[in-house]
Amino acid sequence: MTVETTGAAGAAVITMTAEAGQEADHQMPLQLTCPNCGATDLVMEQGARFCEACGYGVDEPVTGEEEPSEFQDPKPCVSCGGTEIDAEGYCTDCGDLQPRRRDRMEVNLGVVAGISDRGLRHHRNEDSMALRPAVGLDGRNLVVAVVCDGVSTSERPDEASAAAVAAAAKLLLTAIAAGTPEPVAERVPEPAPAHVDPVETAVMQLQPEIETEPDGVAGAAGAAGAPVAIGPADLGLISRHAVADADRAVSDLARDADHGNPPACTYVSAIVGEEVTVAWLGDSRAYWLDERGTSRALTRDDAAEGSHAIEAWLGADSGAPEPHLARFTPDGPGVVLVCSDGLWNYVEKAADLAALALPAALTDPFDAAARLVRKALDSGGHDNITAVLVPYPVQAPAEGAGQTGASQQP
């Protein structure tokens, strides 16, 4: 392990080198499952925009709230297993009303998967998620995952979380594809640095400030003015601006009729590539899970220990909060878990989460996410539950896999 000191405040960045034989080729084309037609030979390469099989836009974040595709089989009735559901949502066989789409949102892209469930006590799902693989200008593979949890005591918290994940994920994916945070930096003024005491663990370091290049924008352009591949500092800068966009999107939902209690939500995001960049506000969390005994939480709640009274959130009354930012490099294979408190309320320790999710999450993150959500439901399901899993290293297709499936035109 090597320790470097960077930044004006002298914040330490702990970098861990990968174990021998575990280093992945992050520039191999990324193979995933099309969320629209289910094609498994969809290959993400730089500039790819559409699935060749069905024309689905592969550069948009997926939330699980999308309209069902004509290519997808209808979901069976939750009561009797029947497949005939009428336009009003009732099973034509047994007559039971089926859950609303937001009650159970599922996304399985192969290289990343997530499930968001209403739980057993809430009348609606106030969590939201957005996820998508991306390819940088240098051909390196990244995965973006965002989870937001609506504040139940605010007005329309479900709308708040949905607006936040959509805005944040769109900005992150656009900036990564463009190869520069410059368009973002031009729109969002850089906030004055906020001092936060570093919180160090064995694999990561909280970084309240993200260093930029001497021109003030990290990696904004090459010598000829063309975009260049974004680096770790750029991802932190982009993450900061994504939080600002999400805060603005939630703030725009405020109405006079909210009686001083406008929509609000928490926020956590992870960008997973060669390194992992995490940003958060509130008590939604990110974890690193592995089988080597180094699983741990990567975030620190904006709340007093043992309390769910959060001290930072997104929304019109948030005060434009400065997000926490962290960056680390894992020392071998594992998974990044991004989740709401509906999961960690029941399974809080990273080692326990790892025991539930691994080793399945390394090759089948959707099945592992379902196992985590089921654990929370079986334990009481008092809150909405969201779990997104990103295997590390970001998986490339097996040798010899077909290299077709995504194109720049539908």
What pLDDT does 304 receive?
87
Whether the CA torsion 54, 59, 62, 66 is positive or negative: it is negative
Give how far Cα 242 sits from Cα of 145, 155, 164, 171, Å. 12, 23, 9, 6
Check: CB of residue 49 under 8 Å from CB of residue 59: yes
Beta strand 296-297 with 285-289 is antiparallel
pLDDT (average), residues 309-321: 92
HEC letters along 48-74 = CCEECCCCCECCCCECCCCCCCCCCCC
Average pLDDT, the chain: 77
pLDDT digits (tens, 9 = 90+) for 96-148: 877 777 899 999 988 999 999 999 988 899 999 999 998 887 778 899 999 99
Is residue 209 predicted with pLDDT exceeding 70? Answer: no
84 within a domain of the structure (yes/no): no
Residue 285 reports pLDDT greater than 90: yes
Domain that includes residue 19, residue range = 2-66+102-407
User: Quick one: pLDDT at residue 260?
Assistant: 83
Over residues 43-52, the mean pLDDT reads: 59
Whether 155 maps to a domain, the answer reads yes
Is 90 exceeded by the pLDDT of residue 40? no
In a domain, 141, yes or no: yes
- Inter-residue contact 293 to 304 (CB < 8 Å): no
What would the two tokens of residue 337 be? 């878990």
Instruction: Write down the pLDDT at residue 232.
Output: 66
Whether residue 23 is predicted with pLDDT greater than 90 in this model: the reply is no
Query: Is residue 95 situated within a structural domain?
Result: no
Instruction: State yes or no: pLDDT of 182 exceeds 60.
Output: no
pLDDT at 207: 40
Residue 263: pLDDT band (50, 70, 90) is very high
Distance separating alpha carbons of residues 141 and 143, to the nearest angstrom:
7
> Per-residue pLDDT averaged across 299-311, rounded?
89
**pLDDT of the residue at 218:** 37
pLDDT of residue 82: 86
Most confident listed range (51-55, 120-124, 157-161, 308-312): 157-161
Inform me whether the pLDDT recorded for 85 exceeds 80: yes
Residue 261 located in a structural domain: yes
CA distances from 234 to 207, 354, 389 (A): 13, 30, 23
Q: For residue 53, give the CATH number of its domain.
A: 3.60.40.10
Domain count, the chain: 1
- Please compute the mean of the pLDDT values over residues 330-342 and round it to a whole number: 96
Distance CA 113, CA 63 (A): 10
| Residue 351 clears pLDDT 60, i.e. is over it | yes
Angle between helices 232-251 and 157-178 (to 10 degrees): 150
Which of 25-39, 192-206, 243-257 ranks highest by mean pLDDT? 243-257
- In this predicted structure, the answer to whether residue 67 has a pLDDT above a threshold of 80 is no
Let me know if residue 73 belongs to a domain: no
Q: Using one digit for the tens of pLDDT, what is the confidence trace for 219-255?
A: 434 444 455 556 666 899 999 999 999 999 999 999 9
In a domain, 400, yes or no: yes
Domain assignment present for 244: yes
CA gyration radius, the chain: 21
pLDDT score recorded for residue 339: 98
Who has greater pLDDT, 197 or 366? 366
Alpha helices in 192-288 (DSSP H): 232-251
pLDDT of residue 320: 83
Q: What local confidence, expressed as pLDDT, does residue 77 receive?
A: 79
- pLDDT of 392 higher than 90: yes
Copy the structure tokens of residue 401: 């896999």
pLDDT at 310 over 60: yes
Q: Which one has a higher pLDDT value, 332 or 2?
A: 332
Tell whether the model's pLDDT for residue 163 goes beyond 80: yes
Which 3 state secondary structure label does DSSP give 159?
Answer: helix
